[in-house]
Structure 1
Amino acid sequence: MDGPSGSGKSSASRGVARALGLRYLDTGAMYRAITWWMIEQGVDLGDAATIAARSHEPVLTSGTDPDGPTIHVDGVDVGEPIRGSEVTAAVSVVAAVPEVRARLVAMQREIIGSGDIVVEGRDIGTVVAPAATVKVYLTASAEARAQRRTAELTGTTVEAQQAAMATRDTLDSTRKTDPLSMAVGAVELDTTALNLEEVIAAVLGLIKERT
């Protein structure tokens, strides 16, 4: 399941995985985790060469339980700090470094293994698992996405979130390596007017149809 920020990927993916008794992987958390590590190490995020050179150092461990997904870096639970504003503002820059993507894509494919998993991100259907049985591209209006993200955070506004998302969308969709785009064979689902239960039901229906 791919799509931009605020489209509902995380909640929908977890709901689908829970309904089908499958594993769940949030690939975005992996990019956030490595970004958090770079910040903690004092790496200059404007120096792509240094990010690339050090991208192999942190040990990442991703849990795949949809009821309680976890992400650890060097044995430390970073599930909360990776959602902070500093990491959010920097993750697209770190994620654009080819060496970072190569390492994490390899890890993601290893976790996916033979399948039976719901995976969310920005390049799953195009790069990580192009042979997936079902590929979904979630989207929503810019205002709806900003409203959802604002409801999840404190100390922000819809206008601020909409501006931040516009910047991140541009970075994610124009990067040279694995840009955000809808995969061939993916079904686009606009979630603007849908609640979470409706999105989950739509994806489950698609899975039943395709499998």
Structure 2
Amino acid sequence: MPEPGVSTVIAVDGPAAAGKTSTCLALAEIFGLRYLESGRTYRIIAFEALRREIPVDNAREVTGLCDDLIRESRSAGLLTSERYAPDKLRATPVNVAVSAVAKIADVRQRVTSLIRLWAKSQAQCVIEGRDIGTTIFPTAPVKFYLTATPEVRAMRRVRQERAGSYENVLEDVIRRDEADMSRAVSPLAAAEDAIRIDTSGLTLDQVVSRMSSACLNRGLEINR
């Protein structure tokens, strides 16, 4: 499937709790961009699979569920649906189930199509995920790969979500990394031309400053 002709896509990839959401929201504010969190769609599908008691490792049933949700939300509306509270989508059962959902090839194909459809209607946008710069928009003019040590990311998640012990969260972070990096379809990896930033010892402002400078150097204009 060809990449849609959007003016500008900033692709931001990286593992869980590397700082993608905070930095993307900041960039969206600075440059006047529309923002999309691609992983939220997989969480919605995982949440609904659990709610409807559909086995998340049953590719056929989960794909059918995905199709139902797309129809119910009128295509790309599933990406931006506000029906689901953030705390519900980040509950422990969903954290565990989302890896199984995200590795289903037919589900990823459908979500990829939705993301491209959404981006096609935007003049400029920033999209975060795990395969945005490698698979979904491989020719994006600006790509970032944010990372941090598992320990730092676990501590951030404990502070942000205020749920679970540090040890359990760290175990979940490491498990999710392994699942994302080892899946057969669109594994988590940095694009060869991505700007890599280790956020472990940096403040949000420092990370956003580096990303903003890179965007300006690549010709992105502030549009507010």
The TM-score, its normalising length taken from structure 1, stands at 0.90
Matched residue, 1:110: 117
Matched residue, 2:5: none
Alpha carbons 1:123, 1:181 under 8 Å: kept: yes
Is 2:102 aligned against 1:91?
A: no
Matched residue, 2:213: 205
What is the identity, as a one-letter code, of the residue corresponding to 1:207?
A: C
Q: Deviations over 1:55-113 (max 9, x none)?
A: 211134257xxxxxx534xxx34444112111111101101001110000000011111
SS at match of 2:67: coil
- Range moving further from structure 2, 17-26 or 156-165: 156-165
- Range moving further from structure 2, 42-51 or 124-133: 42-51
1:16 equivalent among 10, 27, 41? 27
What is the identity, as a one-letter code, of the residue corresponding to 1:199?
A: V
Q: Give identity over the alignment, percent.
A: 32
SS at match of 1:71: coil
1:129 equivalent among 126, 134, 137? 137
Alpha carbons 1:33, 1:78 under 8 Å: kept: no
SS at match of 2:145: strand
| Structure 1 residue ranges (4+ consecutive) displaced by more than 4 angstroms after TM superposition | none
Alpha carbons 1:33, 1:71 under 8 Å: kept: no
Is 2:175 aligned against 1:167?
A: yes
Is 2:40 aligned against 1:32?
A: no
What is the identity, as a one-letter code, of the residue corresponding to 2:46?
A: T
> 5+ residue gaps in structure 1?
64-69
> How do residues 52-71 of structure 1 correspond to structure 2 at under 5 angstroms?
52-59=63-70, 60=73, 61=77, 70-71=80-81
Q: Root-mean-square deviation (CA), in Å?
A: 1.5
Give the Å deviation of 1:153.
1.9
The TM-score, its normalising length taken from structure 2, stands at 0.85
Matches of 1:80 and 1:168, distance apart in 2? 18
Matched residue, 1:100: 107
Alpha carbons 1:4, 1:139 under 8 Å: kept: yes
